[in-house]
Homo-oligomer: A and B are copies of this chain.
Amino acid sequence: MRPREAQPNLLVVVADVGDEVAVGPLLAELGEAIRTLTAGTDARLLGLPPGDLTITVGVGPRLVRLAGPSLPGTTDLPEFDRERISPAARGGDLLLQVCAGDAVVPSVAAAALLDQAGDRIRERWRQAGRRGSTVAVNQDLTAPRNVFGFLDGIVGPHTTAQQRRDLWLAGPPPVAGGTIAVLRRMELDLRRFATLSVSDQEAVFGRRRDTGAPLSGGTIASDPDLSAKTPDGRYLIPADAHLRRAHPATVGVGLMLRRSYSIDEPAPGLLFISFQNDIRTFTNTLTRMDDGDALLSFTTTTASATFLILPGFDQLPLGATMFD
């Protein structure tokens, strides 16, 4: 199984589920609505062609713990540095991630899902995002340009073997083929970043701004050489460059699939979204970044949540057997 190529338009809704709500039937109903929405047979689409509409549903740690304390996805995200997160924007029971090529379809599809759930859920926050213009990394992968002008999401589990190892959850149903999502909404300090020279900006990321090539050389598709040095002994990819600090080889974790989207509100920034089959891939990476990643000083995180992403479904209801 391969993840679908990211669509240009995203809407994320994070909600809580009421204490008395039967979660299994709620998920089954959402699954049925997803089926009719993506098939284009749901009147709530108001005649809009769904196109490549893709809806991903996640269940927050509180609900996963209720379903089974030994399931993956029971762990809340800890607090990290450089956070300014209101209580409403930390955690949550339910993730609805709606992506499409069309610019208005995500809003309309999300409204249909919220209509389906009715007063069983309570919206906490929502965030729209867009992928900037993209550059091809290889024939299967494109990287979008973020509001810092840099290309994003280049390193990741892009081969089937890597995805089996680091992306998809193994084990028995109901989680086999699912994954763990981390969402972090960040404001980015464009004003201060723009005062840097281009080469200083590139030193922050560890890549060329125009091409996305690592500072160790090659093309955007080249593996960064973290040991490469200048003739006078300095690292080509600086010690505090994001590419080095966040690299799986530096952190000692598996690969995360990063599917971040640029945002305009409440301030210019990024909705960072990563998928991995072990939340420690994310938490260990960010802990390592907190300890000296040059990029972090330009970020303020304003929302944070993790979810168990339910496997795609063809026959079974969404979340089948998990909340029996």
- A interface residues (Cβ-Cβ under 8 A, vs B): 8-9, 11, 43-48, 102-104, 106-108, 110-112, 114-115, 126-128, 130-133, 145-149, 190-191, 193-194, 198, 201, 209-210, 262-266, 268
Q: Given A43-B194, A191-B115, A209-B46: A130 and B104 within 8 A (CB)? A: yes
A265 touches B126 (CB 8 A): yes
Q: In the assembled complex, which residues on chain B have CB atoms less than 8 Å from the CB atom of A190? A: 44, 46, 107-108, 111-112, 115
Residue of B nearest to A104 (CB): B132
B265 touches A103 (CB 8 A): no
Q: In the assembled complex, which residues on chain B have CB atoms less than 8 Å from the CB atom of A114? A: 191
Query: Could you tell me the distance between the alpha carbons of A147 and B47 in the complex, rounded to whole angstroms?
Result: 10
B47 touches A198 (CB 8 A): yes
Q: In the assembled complex, which residues on chain B have CB atoms less than 8 Å from the CB atom of A43? A: 194
Q: In the assembled complex, which residues on chain B have CB atoms less than 8 Å from the CB atom of A9? A: 130
A264 touches B194 (CB 8 A): no
Q: In the assembled complex, which residues on chain B have CB atoms less than 8 Å from the CB atom of A148? A: 46
Partner of A149, one of B48, B115, B147, B262: B48
Q: In the assembled complex, which residues on chain B have CB atoms less than 8 Å from the CB atom of A210? A: 47
In angstroms, how far is the closest chain B Cβ from the Cβ of A24?
A: 24
Q: Given A128-B264, A264-B128: A48 and B102 within 8 A (CB)? A: no
Partner of A131, one of B45, B103, B262: B103
B262 touches A147 (CB 8 A): no
B112 touches A194 (CB 8 A): yes
B48 touches A262 (CB 8 A): no
Q: In the assembled complex, which residues on chain B have CB atoms less than 8 Å from the CB atom of A103? A: 8, 130-133, 262
B201 touches A149 (CB 8 A): no
Query: Could you tell me the distance between the alpha carbons of A145 and B102 in the complex, rounded to whole angstroms?
Result: 10
Partner of A45, one of B126, B128, B149, B263: B149
Supplied contacts A104-B147, A107-B147, A112-B194, 19 more A-B pairs, CB within 8 Å: A8-B103, A45-B149, A46-B147, A46-B148, A46-B190, A46-B193, A47-B209, A48-B132, A102-B133, A103-B131, A104-B146, A107-B268, A108-B147, A111-B147, A111-B268, A112-B190, A114-B191, A115-B190, A115-B194
Q: In the assembled complex, which residues on chain B have CB atoms less than 8 Å from the CB atom of A145? A: 48, 104
Q: In the assembled complex, which residues on chain B have CB atoms less than 8 Å from the CB atom of A264? A: 11, 106-107, 110, 126, 128
Task: Offer 8 A-B interface pairs, CB within 8 angstroms, sorted by A.
Answer: A44-B190, A44-B194, A48-B132, A103-B131, A104-B146, A107-B190, A111-B268, A126-B266
